[in-house]
Amino acid sequence: MMISDSHALFEAAGCAMTLNNTGVITDSKDFVSTAFCNQPVSAFPLLEIGAGFGSNSISALKNGHTVICNDLSKEHLEIAGRNVPAEMLQRITFLDGSFPDEIDLTENSIASILCCRVLHFFNGQGIDKMLNAMSRLLIPGGRIYATVETPFIGNWKSFRPEYEARLAAGHPYPGLIENHRMHDSIAFSNKIPDVLHLFDLDSFKKLFTDHGFMVEQAAYINRQGVFPVECLSDDGRDSVGVIAVKPTN
């Protein structure tokens, strides 16, 4: 059965709709965002890409970090800004614009980057560009903390056979859905960009090793209690997260 209102479904689950049709925003923590927010404070700032309403940037700020908080949407960042304690405002910079093309930052100037549930809106070429740009911005030894959704989540279930067949055939991007409208079971396609690129654990890890990073931690993330039940996988493989380090040499 096709559900007619994904908006109501997500809001009932406690997620907020983005204001620019780039999916939903959740302020729940997983192992990736927790590690990002709790890392030791260094002399260099942290960068969050696609921060939504900024809950992770604000957690990092409250832990003493200096944070550059980026999102495509100026409206999202205005909402984030309203939630920053006044005495911390001098440690956070809001940068609206599309990463990397519209974002001008100095190379080797960022301690770590958080990018949660954003990379799955880019095809292989777009992800190459994003990861290369992140690598240039990071200091040697700096880390990327990233999450994306998997091909196992419930609302794209009818894509699964195509994904399995492509995986078996050695397709370079088995989770790239050419036309997600064909597989949409919750009327969500009009709330996300045209490109939807889902990753299993191995293919997500490979992105980082292919771009010169060393993967320190990688695991599936169970979104039970965060996403609506209609979006959950059968086995807790809802999202996948990676923490990867830029080599020092």
Ligand X SMILES: C[S@@+](CC[C@H](N)C(=O)[O-])C[C@H]1O[C@@H](n2cnc3c(N)ncnc32)[C@H](O)[C@@H]1O
Q: Which residues in this chain contact ligand X in the complex, by CB under 6 A?
A: 18, 20, 22-26, 49-52, 70-73, 76, 98-99, 116-118, 121
Residue number with CB closer to ligand X (76 or 197): 76
Specify the 3-state DSSP secondary structure of 222: coil
> Minimal distance in Å, beta carbon 134 to ligand X?
11
* C-alpha span between 224 and 233 (Å, rounded): 9
Handedness of CA 29, 32, 36, 40 (dihedral sign): positive
Residue number with CB closer to ligand X (6 or 22): 22
> Minimal distance in Å, beta carbon 231 to ligand X?
12
> Minimal distance in Å, beta carbon 248 to ligand X?
27
> Minimal distance in Å, beta carbon 165 to ligand X?
27
Given a contact cutoff of 8 angstroms between Cβ atoms, the answer to whether 156 and 182 are in contact is no
Beta bridge partner(s), residue 227: 224
C-alpha atoms less than 13 angstroms from C-alpha of 216 in its C-beta half-sphere: 15
Beta bridge partner(s), residue 47: 68, 113
Residue number with CB closer to ligand X (21 or 165): 21
Residue number with CB closer to ligand X (122 or 163): 122
Residue number with CB closer to ligand X (93 or 167): 93
Q: Which residue is nearest to ligand X (CB)?
A: 50
* Consecutive H or E run containing 218: strand 214-221
> Minimal distance in Å, beta carbon 79 to ligand X?
10
> Minimal distance in Å, beta carbon 144 to ligand X?
14
Cis bond leading into 100, ω under 30°?
A: yes
Identity of the amino acid at 179:
N
Given a contact cutoff of 8 angstroms between Cβ atoms, the answer to whether 217 and 242 are in contact is yes
Residue number with CB closer to ligand X (23 or 174): 23
Beta bridge partner(s), residue 217: 243
The number of beta carbons lying within 10 Å of the beta carbon of residue 233 is: 21
